[in-house]
Amino acid sequence: MKVSLRLVSWSIPLMLAASCAAQQVAPVSFAFPDALTNSSVDVPAPPASMMVSSASNVPVSSPAAQPSLWPRPYLFGGLALNRGGYAPSAGTFGGGVETETKHFLGLAETWYEDAPKQDLGNGNEFGVRARGFLRTSRGWYFGGGAQWSKLDTTSYTKQAWRPAFGGGKDVSLENFSMRAQVLYVLPGTDHLNELQGPEISLWLPSPASRSHLFYRQTLGIYGFHQTAVPTSDRQMASFLDFTMMYRF
């Protein structure tokens, strides 16, 4: 209200001056006392603080969310394409919490997969994983963690702890962001198959963004030997997950 009143106080003398000039009538002395002795009237400009920028109505992009150690929960679900003696496709879902700060990021999640073995026609797998990373000023991060998984069938069960290490990078442009990550999963306590290999993950957009909805794709390429036969020829198998994630 103060701004508008001051603008009005400046506009009234200006309009009076313009009207008088148009009618070739001398300005009234109470409005412009110097006009009686000068042929031109110098009207002071409004203060700079009162000037209204033409760009004041242009929307400004909202600032990025402040980093916080407070964990944010999320859920995910999707399709898994499997090899290595499993059914070709399976459903997978799970949930967890993750945190993003300037120099640290981490997650802890649990998951379940309907993963029948081809020779038995039944089976399911579930597990947990926890990972933490230190982030550099250029968006790279490095670290690792551990994961546990268990396979249940009507004939047998398998379970193992496995460490993992690696890193990734966040890419952020004006209208696009992504996170790419590569880890190497070690056999850990898996003495039956000694499964190990690289795990490549991609997030769109990057979890470092303010988005709530993400696409995550994870490809694991693992080497292993036949169950309890370490001297057998090692085989390779790939596991590919396509999931949608929602972060609260």
Q: What pLDDT does 195 receive?
A: 96
Structure token digits, residue 234: 């090692």
Helices (H) and strands (E) in the chain, counts: 1, 10
Report field, pTM of the whole predicted structure over 0.75: no
Map out the domains of the chain as residue ranges.
2-50, 71-247
Structure token digits, residue 137: 């000023």
User: What separation in angstroms does the CA of 70 have from each of 137, 176, 201, 214?
Assistant: 21, 25, 24, 19
Q: Tell me the per-residue pLDDT of 43-79, one tens digit each, with 9 for 90 and over.
A: 455 554 444 333 334 333 333 445 677 899 999 999 9
Q: What pLDDT does 235 receive?
A: 93
Q: Residue 188, Cβ neighbours under 10 Å: how many?
A: 17
Q: Tell me the per-residue pLDDT of 72-93, one tens digit each, with 9 for 90 and over.
A: 999 999 999 999 889 999 999 9
Secondary structure (3-state) at 50: helix
Q: Tell me the per-residue pLDDT of 161-213, one tens digit each, with 9 for 90 and over.
A: 999 999 999 999 989 999 999 999 999 999 999 999 999 999 999 999 999 99
- Is the separation of the CB atoms in 112 and 94 below 8 Å? yes
Report which residue type is found at 17. A
CA-CA-CA-CA dihedral for 132, 91, 88, 214, to nearest 10? -50
Report the top-level CATH class of 71-247: mainly beta
